[in-house]
Structure formats: structure tokens, C-alpha cells
Amino acid sequence: MDPSIADKKENVKLKKSSNLPRPVRIVGNIREFTTEESKPWIVVRKPEQPNLSQGVTISFSEQSTRKDSYELDYCYEQNEGNFIIYSKEIEPLIPELINGRNLTVIAYGARGSGKTYTVKGTEENPGLAMLAMARILSKAEEIGYSVSISMYEVYHEHVVDLLDANRTEVQVLEDAQGRTNLKGLSKVLVQSIEEFSNLFSSRISSQKEGHPNPLEPRRRCHKGLIVYISSCDDDNNLKIASQMNFIDLAGYEDPRRNNEDALQIAKINKSLYGLCNVIHAINANEIRVPYRENKLTRLLKESLTRSNHILMVTCLNPSFCQDTIHTVCLASRSCQRTTQMFMDSKKRIGSASKLESMSSARREKSVIPSSYAKEGIGSHHQSDSKKAGSISKERRIRSDVKTIMLEKFKSPPGNVSAMKCKPLSSSINPSVIISQEKTPEVIPISSSKTLLDEEHNFQVSKDPAAFTSLEKVTSKDPHVIPSGINSEKDVFVCQDGKENVSFQIIGNESPPLSEQIRTISKNLKALCAPSSLRMKESKESGTQVDAGDSVEPRTPVMEHHVKIEDRFETPINNAASRSFQQRSSGMKQSLVQEYLKFLNTASKEELKELKGIGEKRSTYILELRENSPEPFKKLDDLEDIGLSAKQIKGMVKNMAGALFN
């Protein structure tokens, strides 16, 4: 077919896809005035004929221009209230929820914008969670399903169980299949709306209204409710069919206005940016969704996917509030149209370069939200040159990854460096957050050890059985081995689990570099580890030195650094240089895979010979391997053993250098 005709057809499809609703629906909700407020400042412009592809524009004065107005999917005005939002946005989705599709509702906005009011509401005006629960409970009773709940808060990147009187910490883990496990999160069976209301109100407002010490500043955190809808199988075991999440986010606030609390605010804002980045990536159909950027998004990873329903309610203060403008601006940025929806895997390869240039253009137009998050508060005021630098760096990395992917597909079967790839399953709806293999057993409160306070006689499950396979991993002190390091910018290859990449490496026909790495790491240690020198010295002086963590092998200095561009100057040589660089990207990928393979298979002694891995890390790696045969599938996974992106890059570089010695 004439390529120009093919291009036109592609364009038509892309245009059609841009009329589809976005995976994450983002609506505004202007709260009522409180007593001291009166002057309205938000202007909402709605299309005359409401339709799915056309949103509303929000601006903050009548004279606003297109430039200072923001697009959202819809906006509920002051006179509308929770019941209208519920009946338009949530109720129609409840049948799908019962049929197994997860649903997540996020209340987002500036401080005091009405987030808790939207989720929880009051007795006279119940919030979205109350209204949805009433419907879910009656539907569940009709069809014989059971409903249970968990509640948590995320404070300073720590998740705490709100249903546990001791407020124990919950660990967010990922199993070998990439599913999220929330270890230590209690679950309570709920049978009536009164039961739910008592429990929910007492926990969600414990910080707001009934703070134990009124002199202590209120703890600002994200609060979450998970509603599990479970069916009974033939053996009377509960099986989770789907779950609904409600998240009452901590409010956005400009830290420059509140010096006392600036650190706490900065952390909250960072996690809000992280969540917005995820939503932006989902809506823009980005290949990589940055779930790992913070605890909240890691925790919600299973529900924040394109195959589930996600509703973000952006709460707006009705009177002047600079922070509201900022939150609307971020929410609006997440409202990007999808562009790659209809691409099947073949076309994805065929037009990958075209998409690359399209998405590059898109990224140039908008500030990359992930860099936004890393730069922290007020980053939009920072210099353009800094932004441009990080954008071009990120673009370079992404383009490297894409080149590698294309190279893999073009390689003939006999090519030694080629890797077999298979498309991932398209059915991504892992609706179980706690455990899929073992159904959590619901046990009466009286027989559980440390759970709920006596005031409520609910049934709670800590579900220990579901986590037996991960017990050892999590028994580690999280402070000893920190996690959650952000590495998007610094790592060669961005692969991020089944939802993020289109292809998964299932075999490896490259030569056994891991063997070479093994030999090299031994030689390296012999050659340059101070430990060996110290051992030698100490033997000579008659004393013994223990080669533990503190004694790290040193990397030999590479004497000849050859800059490719310096050597190839003519146009022909420039082409050769580009081709060489492409191949070297492939080699880099192979080296990374071999390095990971080494970490997945090497003995403790062999591991300890690597730079950056001592007694503690090698023990931890072995523990990880006991629980999952292959814990390191991508470089990002090394963050789980507490290595920073910079360290990881350095380690791989050392190995690459050593190969040529």
C-alpha cells in the first residue's frame, strides 16, 4: 500500500481515538461557601450540547483568556452536591464493579477545598463513599456476595492500618507476578450501612475532629478506603471479585506560605505530583506509568490501570485561593487525549518512530510531569534551561529504549544477541489486592491477636496465610534497607512491569556473559579490592582483617576514554557512528540482562565480590531469591535492595569496563 495512504488511515484512527473518553475521568466540584466566604471567583464554561469528547473550561475571572483557563471533563457547581455527583459518576458504574471491574475515586484539591466532605459527607448530606456503600451492600445482599473493607493512611511515605487500634504499619510489597500485596492490612466484614458508617466515620475523622491531643498539629495525610466485593466458591471460600477505592488526599498547599510545616507540605505535594504523573501517563497512554514514584501510587497500582474505572474529583474552593488554581492546572494537564489506543502490536512496531516523534512533540509542548515531581514545589517557576536539559535527557533515554526494542524485533532468529519477546497478555484486571492464590480468611475479632479496639465488634482478617511466601522479605527492617528511590532519569532501560511495557523478555540467546562477569568480578577483587591488599598487609603484619561491608573493592581507573564523536567526523562516519551507537545500546541491554542474571543466580560469596554489595545486601538478595526465583527482572528492581539509580549505573559501568580489560 502507498505509505501516504497508510499514514492517512493511521491519522483517521488516531483522530477517532481522540474522541474516546479518557481512562481517568477528571471532574471539578466547587464546594459551598463557609460562613466567612462569599465572593465567587470561578467561572465554568460548559458546551451547549454536552458530549463525551468535549470538556468544560474553568477560569478564575470573567475576563480570562484561553491561556488562563483550564479544561476538565466536567465541573459540578455549588448547588449540585454529593448526591448528584454520585448518581451521575458512580452509580452507573456499580454493575461493572460487581462484575469484576475495579473502581477508584480520588478526591483531590487544595487544603480545605472539601475533599473529606466529598468522600465522607455529613449525616444530612452523605458523601460519595457512603452513597456507594449503601448501593453496594444492597446489591451484594441481592446476589449473595459479601463486602469487607480496609482503611489506611499514608503519612510520610508510611502506610498505617486505620482499622488496627495499634495503628500498625502496612508493607506494600510486590509478588513475583508483579501483584501488589498489602502486608498487615486488616479487613473487616461489613453487613449493614450503619456498621460501615460507624466504622468509617470514626476512622476517617479521627484526625480532623477527635484528635487525641488538640495542641498537637493535625497530621496531614492521605486516607484510603478499600471496599472488597467477594463471592463464595463451592467450598465456601471467599474470593475477591473486585474492589473499590476511595482516596481522600491530603490538601495541596504552597509551602512558601507556611514555613513551620514546610517539610511536611513538601512531602505531601511531592506525592500529589506523583499521583498526577500516573494519571497523566494513563490518560496520555504513555508506555511507562511511574507507579514507583511514591507509596500511594505503588499501593494503588492494581487499580490505577487503563482497564479499570478511575474518577478524580478535583475539589475547588469557591473563594479566592491561589492553591486551587495550581491544583486545577495540574488536573487539567492530566486531561490529555489518548493517541495510541488503536495501535496493535504490529503497527506499534511499524510506526514506533512516528509515535516517538509525536510524543516528543507532545512532551515538548507540555512540561513533563515526572520531572515536575522530582523538582518539587514551585518547579514550574524554575528556569527553562534546566527543564530543557532534563527533558532532553529523558527523551534520549526513552529513544534508546525504543531503539533497543526495535532492534530486538528486527534481529534474525539466529542472532546471538537477539532475545525472544512475547506480547503481554492484554487482560490486565488483577482485581485482588491482598492475595489471589489464598483467599483471605475472615476471622472473628475475638480470635485475632492485636486488631480492633473493643468498641466495635467487627470481623477482622490480617490474612497471614496470604503472605507466607513473602514473610522473609518483609521481616527485614525497612529502615536498614530503604526503598522507593526514584530512578526514571538515571537508568538505561525503563521497563516497569506488565502494565508498562509491551514486551517481556522470556529467553536469552546471548553468550553467557554472566560467566564472564563471574570471572571478572573475581579478578576485579583480586586486582583492586583494598580488602585483599589489607588482608595481605595484615597477614604480613600478623593481624587478621575482616572483609565486611566497610571494605569495598575499588574500580580500576580506565585510562583510555575514547569519545566516538571525536573519531568520526565525516558525514559517512557520522552515519557509522550512529549505527555503532545503536549497536552499543543493544550491547548495553544485553549486559544489563546478564548482570541481572548474575544477581539472580550467583552465590553469596560471588555477590559479595561485586562493588556495592556487602554482607547485608548479599544476605538480603539470597532471601529475596528464596521467595521469588528471579527477583531482579529490571534495573529498577535493584532499588529494592537499597541501591540508588546512580549506584546501579556505576556498577553496570564498572562491569562493562572490566569486560574489556
Ligand X SMILES: Nc1ncnc2c1ncn2[C@@H]1O[C@H](COP(=O)(O)OP(=O)(O)OP(=O)(O)O)[C@@H](O)[C@H]1O
Binding site members for ATP: 109-116
Cell of 658: 572490566
Among 109, 274, 318, 497, binds ligand X (CB under 6 A): 109
Query: How would you class 656 by CB atoms within 10 Å of its CB: exposed for 0-12, middle for 13-18, buried for 19 or more?
Result: middle
Binding to ligand X (CB under 6 A) within 418-447 occurs at none
**CA distances (Å), origin 503, targets 244, 348, 374, 506, 591:** 29, 11, 27, 9, 18
Q: Which stretch binds ligand X (CB under 6 A): 28-36, 356-364, 433-441, 500-508?
A: 28-36
| Rounded least distance, CB 424 to ligand X, Å | 38
Closest C-alpha to 218, from 202, 203, 205, 235: 205
- Look at strands 459-461 and 69-72 and give their pairing: unpaired
Binding to ligand X (CB under 6 A) within 110-139 occurs at 111-117
Cα gap 398→280, rounded to integer Å: 17
- Look at strands 158-161 and 169-174 and give their pairing: antiparallel
Residue among 320 and 580 whose Cβ is closer to ligand X: 320
| Rounded least distance, CB 107 to ligand X, Å | 7
| Rounded least distance, CB 270 to ligand X, Å | 16
With CB under 6 A, what is the number of residues at the site for ligand X?
Answer: 13
Binding string, 66-105, against ligand X, x = CB under 6 A? ----------------------------------------
Residues in binding site? 109-116
| Neighbouring-strand partners of residue 552 | none
Structure letter (DSSP) for residue 450? S
Residue 159 has a CB neighbour count (10 Å cut-off) of 25
Amino acid at 505: I
| Rounded least distance, CB 199 to ligand X, Å | 19
**CA distances (Å), origin 476, targets 1, 439, 579, 638:** 59, 25, 46, 16
Residue among 205 and 601 whose Cβ is closer to ligand X: 205
> Which residue of the chain is nearest ligand X when measured via CB?
251
| Rounded least distance, CB 47 to ligand X, Å | 25
Residue among 109 and 290 whose Cβ is closer to ligand X: 109
Cell of 260: 513551620
Contact criterion met (CB below 8 Å) for 613 and 624: no
Residue among 120 and 288 whose Cβ is closer to ligand X: 120
Residue among 330 and 591 whose Cβ is closer to ligand X: 330
Cell of 396: 534520549
Residue among 108 and 492 whose Cβ is closer to ligand X: 108
Residue among 101 and 222 whose Cβ is closer to ligand X: 222
Among 34, 192, 468, 603, binds ligand X (CB under 6 A): 34
Binding to ligand X (CB under 6 A) within 233-292 occurs at 251
| Rounded least distance, CB 208 to ligand X, Å | 6
**CA distances (Å), origin 442, targets 91, 193, 459:** 28, 19, 7
Cell of 202: 470514626
Contact criterion met (CB below 8 Å) for 27 and 313: yes
Binding string, 304-323, against ligand X, x = CB under 6 A? -----------x--------
Give a three-class secondary structure readout of 145-194.
CEEEEEEEEEECCEEEECCCCCCCEEEEEECCCCCEEEECCCEEEECCHH
Among 32, 80, 455, 537, binds ligand X (CB under 6 A): 32
| Rounded least distance, CB 116 to ligand X, Å | 3
Residue among 1 and 215 whose Cβ is closer to ligand X: 215
| Rounded least distance, CB 250 to ligand X, Å | 6
Q: Which stretch binds ligand X (CB under 6 A): 27-35, 178-186, 292-300, 464-472?
A: 27-35
| Rounded least distance, CB 249 to ligand X, Å | 8
Q: Is 25 in the site for ligand X (CB under 6 A)?
A: no
Closest C-alpha to 324, from 62, 64, 114, 47: 114
Among 22, 25, 31, 270, binds ligand X (CB under 6 A): 31
Residue among 31 and 398 whose Cβ is closer to ligand X: 31
Cell 489518548 found at: 338
Residue among 85 and 304 whose Cβ is closer to ligand X: 85
Cα gap 608→531, rounded to integer Å: 12
Site residues, ligand X (CB under 6 A): 31-32, 34, 109, 111-117, 251, 315
